[in-house]
């Protein structure tokens, strides 16, 4: 405790809610998120830059290892840049679908109807590329690993997807593999690694999604009481 007195701490901003309100809020939030679906069909309708900024700001509230916040969100609306990214993504994805993809992965994608053509990259008004920072500059200017960067960025992306759903837009977690071309095109430093690409916008008219279901609760929960 003596050591903690030297640290810069502030009081936690927390207000306990009545159980009824907690239950109502949690059910309402679940019902909103249960409507979330990944679609590959985007409208070209414009989306405010301010909305994208708020979504990224919300994602940046995510907890991270040692509070390093090891993420960079690159928000792209430039049509030429989006086309360049799409061309490189399709080049890599074509190789993946035709040469690299193991049968065990291919059989899982068949019900989803995916292929190497990625129209969502150029259709959506915004493309968000999330980069994971694997190193950090210390105060002595030496480079050091960024601990738990994978987990930290994963949480931030989850919150970003939730923020997009909450504001009435749609997104798609897309992982063109390999993704090195994204760092080159977007001129990011060597210690940043592209984690995924997310188109953001309104769904296209008559947008379709696969007719699939989420796992039942007894498949994802094990109680120890």
Residue 218 inside a domain? The answer is no
Question: Please, what is the average pLDDT of the chain?
Answer: 94
What value does the mean pLDDT take over residues 176-205? 95
What value does the mean pLDDT take over residues 65-94? 96
Residue 185 inside a domain? The answer is yes
What value does the mean pLDDT take over residues 143-163? 97
Closest C-alpha to 40, from 203, 214, 215? 203
What CA–CA distance (Å, rounded) separates 71 from 94?
28
Residue 108 inside a domain? The answer is yes
State the residue for tokens 């929960």.
Answer: 221
State the residue for tokens 């969502």.
Answer: 120
**Span of 86-90, 103-107, 146-150, 187-191 with lowest mean pLDDT:** 103-107
pLDDT digits (tens, 9 = 90+) for 22-63: 999 999 999 999 999 999 999 999 999 999 999 999 999 999
Antiparallel, parallel or unpaired: β 170-171 and 192-201: antiparallel
Residue 44 inside a domain? The answer is yes
Q: What is the pLDDT of residue 5?
A: 61
What value does the mean pLDDT take over residues 188-206? 96
CATH number of domain containing 111: 3.40.109.10
Residue 7 inside a domain? The answer is no
Residue 18 inside a domain? The answer is no
Please indicate whether residue 111 or residue 196 has the higher confidence score (pLDDT). Answer: 196
Q: Residue 2: pLDDT above 60?
A: no
Q: Which helix or strand (DSSP H or E) is residue 21 part of?
A: helix 19-34
Q: Please give the residue range of the domain that contains residue 117.
A: 38-205
Closest C-alpha to 186, from 115, 95, 89, 94? 89
Q: Residue 174: pLDDT above 60?
A: yes
Q: Domain count for the chain, please give it.
A: 1
Q: Which helix or strand (DSSP H or E) is residue 80 part of?
A: helix 79-95
Residue 213 inside a domain? The answer is no
* C-alpha distance from residue 70 to each of 62, 137, 198 (Å): 11, 12, 18
What value does the mean pLDDT take over residues 151-162? 98
Q: Residue 76: pLDDT above 90?
A: yes
SS3 annotation, 142-202: CEEECCCHHHHHHHHHHHHHHHHHHCCCEECCECCCCCHHHHHHCCCCCCEEEEEEEEEEC
Residue 29 inside a domain? The answer is no
pLDDT digits (tens, 9 = 90+) for 99-117: 888 889 889 888 888 888 9
């Amino acid at each position: 405790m003596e050591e903690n007195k030297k640290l810069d701490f502030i009081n936690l901003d927390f207000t306990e809610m009545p159980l009824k309100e907690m239950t109502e809020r949690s059910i309402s939030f679940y019902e909103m998120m249960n409507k979330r679906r990944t679609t590959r069909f985007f409208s070209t309708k414009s989306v405010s830059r301010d909305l994208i900024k708020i979504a990224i700001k919300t994602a940046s509230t995510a907890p991270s290892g040692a509070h390093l916040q090891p993420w960079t969100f690159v928000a792209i609306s430039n049509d030429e840049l989006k086309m360049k990214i799409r061309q490189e993504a399709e080049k890599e994805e074509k190789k993946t679908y035709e040469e690299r993809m193991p049968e065990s992965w291919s059989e899982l994608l068949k019900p989803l109807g995916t292929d190497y053509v990625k129209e969502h990259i150029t259709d959506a008004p915004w493309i968000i590329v999330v980069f994971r920072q694997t190193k950090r500059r210390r105060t002595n200017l030496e480079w050091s690993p960024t601990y738990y960067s994978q987990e930290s960025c994963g949480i931030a992306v989850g919150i970003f997807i939730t923020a997009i759903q909450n504001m009435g837009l749609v997104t798609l977690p897309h992982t063109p593999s390999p993704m090195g071309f994204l760092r080159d095109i977007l001129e990011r430093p060597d210690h940043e690694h592209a984690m995924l690409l997310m188109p953001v916008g309104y769904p296209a008219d008559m947008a379709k999604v696969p007719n699939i279901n989420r796992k039942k609760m007894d498949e994802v929960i094990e109680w120890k009481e």
